[in-house]
Amino acid sequence: MTVVRTAIEIAAPQERVWEVLMDPRRLADWVTIHRRLSEAPARLVRGSTFEQTLNLRGAHLHVAWTVVDLDPPRRAVWNGRGPVHSHASIVYELSPNGTGTRFEYTNEFKTPGGPLGAVAGRVLVGGLSEREAQRSLERLKLLLERQ
Protein backbone atom coordinates (compact mmCIF):
# COMPACT_ATOMS: atom_id res chain seq x y z
CA MET A 1 0.00 0.00 0.00
CA THR A 2 1.11 3.52 -0.75
CA VAL A 3 0.08 6.36 1.56
CA VAL A 4 0.03 10.02 0.53
CA ARG A 5 -0.56 12.62 3.24
CA THR A 6 -0.58 16.37 2.83
CA ALA A 7 -2.25 19.37 4.42
CA ILE A 8 -2.93 23.01 3.68
CA GLU A 9 -4.25 26.08 5.48
CA ILE A 10 -7.14 27.77 3.67
CA ALA A 11 -8.37 31.28 4.48
CA ALA A 12 -12.03 30.28 4.27
CA PRO A 13 -14.56 29.07 6.84
CA GLN A 14 -14.68 25.33 7.46
CA GLU A 15 -18.30 25.08 6.25
CA ARG A 16 -17.44 26.67 2.90
CA VAL A 17 -14.46 24.34 2.39
CA TRP A 18 -16.71 21.39 3.28
CA GLU A 19 -19.35 22.48 0.74
CA VAL A 20 -16.84 22.42 -2.11
CA LEU A 21 -15.27 19.13 -1.01
CA MET A 22 -18.63 17.38 -0.73
CA ASP A 23 -19.86 18.45 -4.17
CA PRO A 24 -18.38 15.91 -6.61
CA ARG A 25 -19.30 18.20 -9.52
CA ARG A 26 -16.58 20.57 -8.22
CA LEU A 27 -13.78 17.98 -8.52
CA ALA A 28 -12.76 19.39 -11.90
CA ASP A 29 -12.25 22.79 -10.26
CA TRP A 30 -9.42 21.61 -8.04
CA VAL A 31 -8.30 17.96 -8.52
CA THR A 32 -5.45 18.08 -11.04
CA ILE A 33 -5.79 14.48 -12.28
CA HIS A 34 -9.61 14.52 -12.51
CA ARG A 35 -10.97 14.05 -16.03
CA ARG A 36 -14.60 12.96 -15.84
CA LEU A 37 -17.42 12.21 -13.44
CA SER A 38 -20.44 10.02 -13.99
CA GLU A 39 -23.51 9.19 -11.95
CA ALA A 40 -22.67 11.55 -9.09
CA PRO A 41 -25.14 13.07 -6.64
CA ALA A 42 -25.05 16.82 -6.04
CA ARG A 43 -24.08 16.24 -2.41
CA LEU A 44 -22.32 13.30 -0.87
CA VAL A 45 -23.86 11.47 2.08
CA ARG A 46 -22.92 8.17 3.70
CA GLY A 47 -23.52 5.45 1.13
CA SER A 48 -23.28 7.79 -1.89
CA THR A 49 -21.53 6.35 -4.92
CA PHE A 50 -20.02 7.89 -8.01
CA GLU A 51 -17.60 7.01 -10.77
CA GLN A 52 -14.58 9.09 -11.63
CA THR A 53 -12.01 8.96 -14.41
CA LEU A 54 -8.50 10.06 -13.46
CA ASN A 55 -5.50 10.68 -15.69
CA LEU A 56 -2.11 9.41 -14.49
CA ARG A 57 0.67 10.13 -16.96
CA GLY A 58 -1.71 9.78 -19.89
CA ALA A 59 -3.38 6.59 -18.64
CA HIS A 60 -7.08 6.83 -17.83
CA LEU A 61 -8.04 5.13 -14.58
CA HIS A 62 -11.71 4.53 -13.77
CA VAL A 63 -12.59 4.40 -10.07
CA ALA A 64 -15.93 3.62 -8.42
CA TRP A 65 -16.18 5.51 -5.10
CA THR A 66 -18.42 4.89 -2.07
CA VAL A 67 -18.71 7.25 0.90
CA VAL A 68 -18.19 5.07 3.98
CA ASP A 69 -18.02 7.62 6.81
CA LEU A 70 -19.16 11.21 7.16
CA ASP A 71 -18.96 13.66 10.07
CA PRO A 72 -19.92 17.07 8.62
CA PRO A 73 -18.11 19.44 8.45
CA ARG A 74 -15.09 17.66 9.89
CA ARG A 75 -14.39 14.33 8.27
CA ALA A 76 -15.22 12.31 5.17
CA VAL A 77 -13.96 8.88 4.17
CA TRP A 78 -14.60 7.03 0.96
CA ASN A 79 -13.30 3.88 -0.61
CA GLY A 80 -12.62 3.36 -4.29
CA ARG A 81 -12.30 0.33 -6.53
CA GLY A 82 -10.29 0.55 -9.72
CA PRO A 83 -9.16 -1.88 -12.41
CA VAL A 84 -7.41 -5.20 -11.70
CA HIS A 85 -8.06 -5.22 -7.93
CA SER A 86 -6.65 -1.75 -7.33
CA HIS A 87 -8.28 0.15 -4.50
CA ALA A 88 -7.97 3.32 -2.46
CA SER A 89 -9.21 4.93 0.72
CA ILE A 90 -9.43 8.73 0.87
CA VAL A 91 -9.79 10.69 4.11
CA TYR A 92 -10.54 14.41 4.32
CA GLU A 93 -10.15 16.01 7.76
CA LEU A 94 -11.07 19.64 8.36
CA SER A 95 -10.41 21.67 11.48
CA PRO A 96 -10.86 25.35 12.28
CA ASN A 97 -7.70 27.44 12.27
CA GLY A 98 -8.47 30.97 13.41
CA THR A 99 -10.87 32.33 10.79
CA GLY A 100 -9.70 29.72 8.28
CA THR A 101 -9.51 25.97 7.91
CA ARG A 102 -6.82 23.33 8.02
CA PHE A 103 -7.47 20.62 5.42
CA GLU A 104 -5.65 17.31 5.87
CA TYR A 105 -5.76 14.86 2.97
CA THR A 106 -4.81 11.18 3.14
CA ASN A 107 -4.92 8.73 0.23
CA GLU A 108 -3.99 5.12 0.87
CA PHE A 109 -3.98 3.07 -2.33
CA LYS A 110 -2.92 -0.23 -3.82
CA THR A 111 -1.91 -0.32 -7.47
CA PRO A 112 -3.03 -3.21 -9.70
CA GLY A 113 -0.92 -6.31 -10.23
CA GLY A 114 0.18 -7.41 -6.75
CA PRO A 115 3.85 -7.03 -5.70
CA LEU A 116 5.07 -6.70 -9.29
CA GLY A 117 2.42 -4.07 -9.95
CA ALA A 118 3.53 -2.15 -6.85
CA VAL A 119 7.10 -2.02 -8.16
CA ALA A 120 5.93 -1.03 -11.64
CA GLY A 121 3.60 1.57 -10.11
CA ARG A 122 6.47 3.18 -8.22
CA VAL A 123 8.52 3.34 -11.43
CA LEU A 124 5.61 4.68 -13.50
CA VAL A 125 4.12 7.06 -10.95
CA GLY A 126 7.20 7.91 -8.87
CA GLY A 127 6.46 10.96 -6.72
CA LEU A 128 3.52 11.92 -8.93
CA SER A 129 0.92 11.09 -6.26
CA GLU A 130 2.48 13.39 -3.68
CA ARG A 131 3.05 16.22 -6.16
CA GLU A 132 -0.45 16.04 -7.61
CA ALA A 133 -2.04 15.86 -4.16
CA GLN A 134 -0.20 19.02 -3.11
CA ARG A 135 -1.00 20.77 -6.39
CA SER A 136 -4.68 19.85 -5.97
CA LEU A 137 -4.79 21.28 -2.45
CA GLU A 138 -3.13 24.47 -3.68
CA ARG A 139 -5.78 24.77 -6.42
CA LEU A 140 -8.52 24.26 -3.82
CA LYS A 141 -6.98 27.00 -1.67
CA LEU A 142 -6.91 29.44 -4.62
CA LEU A 143 -10.48 28.56 -5.56
CA LEU A 144 -11.83 29.13 -2.05
CA GLU A 145 -9.80 32.21 -1.25
CA ARG A 146 -10.98 33.94 -4.46
CA GLN A 147 -14.68 33.36 -3.71
Nearest to 6 by CA among 109, 99, 102, 76: 102
2-146 CATH, one of 3.30.360.10, 3.30.530.20, 3.30.300.130, 3.40.50.10860: 3.30.530.20
132/71 Cα distance (integer angstroms):
26
Q: Which pLDDT band holds residue 123 (cuts at 50, 70, 90)?
A: very low
137/117 Cα distance (integer angstroms):
27
- pTM (two decimals): 0.86
Q: Do 104 and 134 contact (CB within 8 A), yes or no?
A: no
What average pLDDT does range 129-134 have in this prediction?
87
**What average pLDDT does the chain have?**
87
pLDDT at res. 57: 75
33/136 Cα distance (integer angstroms):
8
